[in-house]
């Protein structure tokens, strides 16, 4: 009888730690935005000594300079796949991080002044396989089922007893259990909405 209780307590503790780390990322984003009057970029390219290097949003020179803690400590306890994300979190690069200069099918990031509905717009989350969170873009211009790299890898992982933790643009963090599938039949991953509504801060959602 004690085994399920202990397992449940451990899962709750892991989810709480994951949410706490996401709150740190939200604070870091707010501080970055205050300094630069822009959202953190998904990726930037730096020229040095004739060489081009890529710096992602989770580099210590971008967001981690605002995080009160070491990068190694900012890891979701349930994170397993470390090849694309060292921490287990992904960042909304479809509409917040401005990733459109990397792939032609990406949309241009929304400026802070254009974020009209932050309470229902995902900012960070538990990543599936990639540190870049991407919306389905399931409209006439894009089919999420045709490109498993850019879309499917950017889904959320529902690894906390069937829930995924999400940090929203207005700063609140919490679990989400409703999963929108697509791409394949992985039971522990999916999108936060069937369209762009959970990712685009310009979209108005009614209860």
Give a yes or no: residue 205 inside a domain.
no
The whole domain housing 180 covers: 2-190
Backbone angles phi, psi at 164, to 5 degrees: -125, 140
Within a domain: residue 201?
no
In a domain, 206, yes or no: no
**pLDDT tens profile 25-75:** 999 999 999 999 889 988 888 877 888 888 889 888 888 889 876 776 788
Q: DSSP of 123-154, one letter per residue?
A: EEEEBSS-SEE-----BTTB-TTS-TTTTGGG
Q: Is the dihedral of CA 58, 60, 62, 63 positive or negative?
A: positive
Residue 34 CA to residue 169 CA, distance in Å, equals 14
Local confidence pLDDT in tens for the 207 residues of the chain? 554 544 466 778 888 999 999 999 999 999 999 999 889 988 888 877 888 888 889 888 888 889 876 776 788 888 877 788 888 999 998 889 877 555 555 567 888 888 888 999 999 999 988 899 988 875 555 454 555 566 788 899 999 999 999 999 999 999 999 999 867 667 789 999 988 889 999 876 554
Prediction pTM value: 0.86
Rounded Cα gap, residues 42 and 92, in angstroms: 8
Please enumerate in sequence order all residues whose Cβ is within 8 A of that of 9, keeping only pairs 6 or more positions apart, or say none: none
What number of H helices and E strands is found in the chain?
A: 1, 9
Q: Is residue 67 part of a domain?
A: yes
- Examine residue 40 and state whether it is found in any structural domain, yes or no: yes
Q: How far is residue 24's CA from residue 115's CA, in Å, rounded to a whole number?
A: 20
- Whether 131 maps to a domain, the answer reads yes
Query: What is the count of structural domains for the chain?
Result: 1
Rounded CA gap, 5 and 3, in Å? 5
């Amino acid at each position: 009888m004690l085994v399920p209780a202990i397992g449940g307590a451990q899962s709750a503790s892991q989810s709480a730690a994951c949410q706490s780390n996401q709150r740190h990322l939200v604070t870091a984003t707010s501080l970055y935005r205050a300094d630069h009057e822009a959202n953190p970029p998904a990726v930037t390219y730096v020229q040095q000594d004739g060489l081009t290097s890529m710096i992602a949003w989770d580099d210590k020179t971008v967001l981690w300079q605002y995080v009160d803690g070491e990068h190694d400590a900012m890891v979701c306890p349930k994170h397993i796949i470390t090849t694309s994300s060292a921490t287990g979190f992904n960042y909304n690069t479809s509409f917040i991080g401005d990733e459109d200069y990397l792939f032609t099918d990406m949309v241009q990031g929304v400026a802070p002044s254009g974020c009209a509905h932050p309470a229902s717009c995902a900012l960070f989350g538990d990543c599936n396989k990639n540190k870049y969170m991407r919306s389905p873009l399931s409209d006439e211009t894009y089919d999420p089922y045709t490109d498993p790299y850019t879309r499917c890898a950017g889904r959320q992982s529902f690894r906390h007893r069937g829930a995924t933790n999400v940090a929203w643009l207005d700063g609140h963090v919490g679990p989400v259990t409703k999963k929108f599938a697509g791409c394949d039949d992985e039971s522990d991953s999916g999108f936060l909405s069937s369209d762009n509504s959970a990712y685009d801060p310009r979209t108005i959602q009614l209860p």
